[in-house]
Chains A and B, each alone.
Chain A
């Protein structure tokens, strides 16, 4: 089993709809979870970070964390064509910041007009 798993997609969502991206992880002691967006040929940029169970909202983005189910998700409301990108889930493996960070292979999101 991969340590961080994402559906590779592509996930196609109509403009204005909600895009839902999912990520599961294998290490029960992971403490820090991140969503990055990466446009083709560019470097990853942070969308959201989440450290405790529940929802965290920032504008059109909501991150959801369920440590019991080892599951983290990203919701994008009112999807725009500019949201078309690959979304990477990242999880720290271990107890503290002195530990590895594992990225999922990414989900390609396409917003269709």
Chain B
């Protein structure tokens, strides 16, 4: 089954404790992206990647890191989480190319930073 998976689905952590949220897709998609969703603010793009070793900042990259060492994986790293990073996070992937194609979303990771 074609899908985007994220782990963990739920995470409660404390300020400053480094964490990684994994994202993997099995559709051989070139484009992958991370979003956070907050009430009233909609989905905001954190980082995106056009292909292996190619990443770029979205609208809200501060406090996050990403890496793309393999085509299928795109982990999101919070080196020193803070309470304002409490949010619902989605990973998404799509075909690459000249045109921006539709994205397929993972199930989401609900993160709480205390």
- Measured CB to CB, the residues of A under 8 A from B are 8, 31-32, 34, 42-46, 49, 51, 88, 90, 92, 96-106
Contact = CB atoms under 8 A, between A and B. Distances in A.
A104 B43 CA distance: 7
A61 B101 CA distance: 19
Interface string B40-82: 1111110010100000101100000000000000000000000
Given A43-B90, A43-B107, A49-B102, A98 B50 contact: yes
A104 B90 CA distance: 16
Contacts, number: 65
A42 B39 CA distance: 14
A46 B103 contact: yes
A32 B99 contact: yes
A100 B98 contact: no
Contacts of B101: 32, 49, 97
Contact of A34 (B35, B102, B106): B102
B43 A88 contact: yes
Contacts of A92: 100
B96 A103 contact: no
A47 to B, nearest CB: 10
